[in-house]
């Protein structure tokens, strides 16, 4: 049984329709770790928010304006105990590209439109949540999300390396940025690199050997102290720099009605990227802690966070992969860590901006890299690839690796084409692979084992013997196996899928191939693993019955259940139905004439 976050062994209940669901049943023993996690998140959130605001093309302080309402409102409505919502690099870059089309170089309009994008995205998320469209997240498969997260984590890491080493940052996709880093290695600022690499080593070592110590907060404090005491900024070490203090004015940005309408389409794309990243991060840490994520509440939480950010002169926000990793790694048990970070960010806006002005960017980069490096889950990708054992590939051909292909495609798409195109590629490919898998179901040829149970003869043979030849390569058609011969002239087949318009003809073709090869006098279609049929599949069974009658074979159906029984019994000219395979075999054997059918 999966243990609860408190280690009690009881699985926490899914979030209900209450405010601040992660605080329901809160335990005092969680307070220390939640506060420390909030401190750690705050130490990363403030400088990251400043940096991501510049990516969005607005003053750095806009990132802090966004962070406070986002953290509070997500905690009130979201279902994750660990997700940290705030400005993020991917959505910040998307926001900048959207706003640039409308601002036309006007700096003041750019700021207003950035807040408008956040508001429109928030409205779309709330509407989707109220319409209970979170189920659409189910169409983003777990392998696609895994590949997306790995690719995104790699992009975050390569984007932080220039700051870690004190070199110029390149543009473009992952590989172009990595090539730019390599080309700049001769110009490394060694003092910056020494500071950054030392900070990275300290965070990783603390995480490994003293996990109770907030390593990120430790190196941030040491980095600021080093700059203040040793005047490293005067020796070429880049620091965050000036930050405007004070609170923003609240209100709806002054944008004309036409522009609001025009922003809906682009904001939907921003929402897709933000929701995918947030859901992936939330599910990753929920699975580790043993609780469930409600996609509808995630939409509401992210929508409220963006509405709050837009009304507070902020920018687009979403669930942050890197900050959630920091939060989870610091031992957070609930959204009290996010509320702590929000309170500290508010204090920062009012009183502490001078402190973060001295934070070395190399130390910030080290904290981010240490947080996301564990999300480069190569082991999970290898597991997906390894699921296609030689026996699975012999039985299912390329379909045995469809999940691995989807994960790798999503990762490659993110690395080569950027976040949104990569996610779209992964989703589209997973849909195509789903259709491919559904349209060509495995049709098992059954034999009776020593216990009298009907089993897949090909699987039984594969367990007993080693493969006689190499497995088909990806993309090659799988040569149909004739399978074991008919028992007493009766061929028993079992389609391992629902039967519907997309696969009915493939099943019919496969059964006809088996009949042509094995020449039985009867075919029993075992419907035990057929959960549903549609009208096209029912007509296919009638047509198959006629096909077999032309070559002297009889078709009967066994073990039809539920919806399958209802549809089949309402179909005219349907083959005879039997309650089980043994009864069907006995019936067709008893009624068979001597000899076998002539299939010539």
Which of 23, 252, 254 minimizes the C-alpha distance to 122? 252
Pairing label, strands 522-526, 454-456: unpaired
pLDDT for the residue numbered 45 = 87
For the cut 50, the answer to whether the pLDDT of residue 374 exceeds it is yes
For residue 599, tell me if it sits in a domain: no
Contact by Cβ (8 Å): 371, 325: yes
CATH number, domain with residue 578: 3.30.750.24
Are 229 and 145 in the same domain? yes
Are 339 and 391 in the same domain? no
Are 94 and 206 in the same domain? yes
Backbone phi and psi for residue 319, each to the nearest 5 degrees, phi listed first: -65, 125
Are 301 and 328 in the same domain? yes
For the cut 60, the answer to whether the pLDDT of residue 531 exceeds it is yes
Helix axis angle for 107-130 and 264-289, nearest 10°, is 60
Q: How far apart are CA 588 and CA 597, in angstroms?
A: 13
For residue 396, tell me if it sits in a domain: yes
Higher pLDDT: 514 or 475? It is: 514
Average the pLDDT over each of 5-9, 365-369, 565-569 and give the range with the smallest value.
5-9
Beta strand segments in 11-120, E: 84-86
For the cut 90, the answer to whether the pLDDT of residue 64 exceeds it is yes
Q: Name the percent of the chain lying above pLDDT 70.
A: 87
Are 457 and 397 in the same domain? no
For residue 15, tell me if it sits in a domain: no
For the cut 50, the answer to whether the pLDDT of residue 478 exceeds it is no
Q: Name the percent of the chain lying above pLDDT 90.
A: 35
For the cut 60, the answer to whether the pLDDT of residue 595 exceeds it is no
Are 158 and 266 in the same domain? yes
Q: Which residues contact 503 (CB under 8 A, 6 or more apart)?
A: 438, 439, 440, 441, 497, 537
DSSP notation for 452-501:
S-EEEHHHHHHHHS--SSPPPPTTSPPPPP--SPPBTTEEEEEE-S-B-T
For residue 52, tell me if it sits in a domain: yes
**What are the tokens at 453?**
């149970």
Backbone phi and psi for residue 499, each to the nearest 5 degrees, phi listed first: -110, 125
Q: How far apart are CA 316 and CA 318, in angstroms?
A: 7
Are 288 and 174 in the same domain? yes
> Coil, helix or strand for 559?
coil
Q: How far apart are CA 433 and CA 446, in angstroms?
A: 27
C-alpha 321: how far from chain center? 12
Are 144 and 211 in the same domain? yes
**What are the tokens at 1?**
């049984």
Give the chain's mean pLDDT. Answer: 83
Neighbour count for residue 98 (Cβ, 10 Å): 25
**What are the tokens at 519?**
């020449």
Domain boundary among 358, 375, 392: 375
Contact by Cβ (8 Å): 4, 291: yes
Are 519 and 542 in the same domain? yes
Q: What are the angstrom distances between the C-alpha of 407 and each of 156, 240, 435, 467, 508?
A: 18, 36, 16, 27, 32
For the cut 70, the answer to whether the pLDDT of residue 472 exceeds it is no
Q: How far apart are CA 544 and CA 551, in angstroms?
A: 11
State the average pLDDT over residues 146-175.
87
- Domain around 278: 29-375
For residue 471, tell me if it sits in a domain: no
Handedness of CA 127, 309, 301, 319 (dihedral sign): positive
pLDDT for the residue numbered 337 = 95
Are 453 and 424 in the same domain? no
Adjacent-strand bridge partners of 419: none
**What are the tokens at 183?**
């080309």
Domain boundary among 326, 354, 375: 375
For residue 187, tell me if it sits in a domain: yes
Higher pLDDT: 583 or 426? It is: 583
For residue 388, tell me if it sits in a domain: yes
Q: Rg of the chain over CA atoms, in angstroms?
A: 30
Helix axis angle for 31-55 and 321-329, nearest 10°, is 160
Domain boundary among 342, 375, 408: 375
| Tens digit of each residue's pLDDT (9 = 90 or more) over 276-290 | 878 888 988 888 888
Contact by Cβ (8 Å): 304, 172: no
| Tens digit of each residue's pLDDT (9 = 90 or more) over 453-468 | 888 877 665 555 444 4
**Range of 101-105, 120-124, 404-408 with top mean pLDDT:** 120-124
Are 390 and 308 in the same domain? no
State the average pLDDT over residues 555-573.
76
For residue 7, tell me if it sits in a domain: no
Q: How far apart are CA 216 and CA 47, in angstroms?
A: 12
Are 311 and 425 in the same domain? no
Which of 409, 414, 405 minimizes the C-alpha distance to 426? 409
> Coil, helix or strand for 526?
strand
> Coil, helix or strand for 400?
helix
Number of folded domains in the chain?
3
Contact by Cβ (8 Å): 74, 341: no
């Amino acid at each position: 049984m999966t243990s609860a976050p408190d280690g009690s062994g009881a699985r926490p209940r899914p979030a209900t329709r209450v405010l601040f669901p992660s605080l329901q049943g809160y335990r005092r023993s969680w307070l220390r770790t939640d506060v420390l996690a909030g401190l750690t998140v705050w130490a990363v959130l403030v400088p990251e928010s400043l940096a991501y605001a510049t990516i969005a093309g607005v003053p750095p302080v806009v990132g802090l304006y966004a962070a406070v309402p986002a953290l509070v409102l997500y905690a009130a409505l979201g279902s994750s105990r660990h997700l940290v919502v705030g400005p993020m690099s991917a959505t910040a870059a998307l926001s900048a590209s959207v706003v640039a089309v409308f601002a036309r170089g006007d700096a003041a309009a750019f700021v207003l439109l950035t807040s408008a994008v956040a508001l429109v995205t928030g409205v779309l998320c709330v509407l989707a949540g109220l319409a209970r469209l979170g189920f659409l997240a189910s169409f983003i498969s777990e392998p696609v999300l895994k590949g997306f997260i790995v690719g995104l984590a790699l992009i975050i890491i390569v984007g932080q390396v220039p700051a870690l080493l004190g070199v110029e940052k390149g543009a473009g996709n992952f590989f172009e940025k990595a090539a730019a880093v390599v080309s700049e290695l001769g110009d490394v600022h060694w003092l910056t690199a020494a500071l950054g690499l030392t900070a990275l080593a300290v965070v990783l070592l603390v995480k490994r050997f003293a996990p109770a110590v907030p390593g990120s907060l430790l190196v941030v404090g040491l980095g600021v102290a080093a700059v203040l005491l040793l005047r490293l900024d005067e020796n070429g070490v880049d620091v965050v720099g000036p930050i405007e203090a004070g609170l923003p004015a609240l209100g709806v940005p002054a944008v004309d009605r036409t522009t609001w309408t025009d922003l809906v389409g682009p904001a939907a794309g921003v929402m897709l990227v933000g929701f995918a990243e947030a859901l992936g991060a939330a599910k990753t840490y929920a699975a580790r802690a043993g609780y469930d994520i409600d996609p509808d509440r995630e939409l509401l939480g992210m929508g409220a966070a963006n509405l709050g950010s837009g009304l507070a002169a902020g920018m687009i926000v979403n669930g942050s992969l890197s900050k959630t990793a920091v939060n989870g790694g610091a031992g957070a048990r609930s959204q009290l860590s996010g509320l702590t970070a929000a309170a500290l960010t508010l204090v920062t806006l009012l009183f502490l901006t001078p402190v973060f002005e001295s934070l070395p960017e190399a130390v910030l980069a080290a904290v981010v890299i240490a947080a996301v490096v564990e999300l480069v889950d190569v082991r999970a990708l290898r597991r997906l690839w390894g699921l296609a054992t030689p026996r699975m590939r012999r039985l299912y051909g390329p379909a045995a690796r469809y999940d691995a292909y989807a994960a790798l495609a999503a990762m490659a798409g993110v690395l080569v084409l950027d976040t949104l195109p990569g996610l779209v590629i992964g989703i589209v490919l997973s849909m195509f692979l789903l259709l491919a898998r559904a349209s060509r179901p495995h049709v098992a040829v059954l034999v009776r084992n020593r216990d009298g149970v009907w089993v897949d003869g090909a699987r039984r043979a594969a367990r007993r013997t080693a493969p006689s030849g190499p497995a088909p390569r990806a993309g090659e058609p799988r040569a149909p196996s004739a399978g074991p011969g008919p028992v007493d002239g009766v061929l028993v087949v079992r389609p391992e899928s629902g039967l519907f318009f997309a696969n009915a003809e493939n099943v019919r073709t496969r059964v006809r191939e088996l009949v042509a090869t094995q020449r039985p006098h009867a075919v029993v279609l075992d419907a035990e693993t057929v959960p549903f049929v549609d009208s096209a599949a029912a007509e296919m069974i009638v047509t198959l019955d006629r096909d077999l009658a032309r070559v002297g074979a009889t078709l009967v159906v066994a073990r039809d259940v539920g919806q399958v029984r209802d549809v089949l019994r309402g179909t005219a000219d349907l083959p005879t139905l039997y309650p089980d395979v043994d009864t069907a075999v006995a019936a067709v054997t008893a009624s068979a004439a001597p000899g076998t059918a002539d299939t010539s």
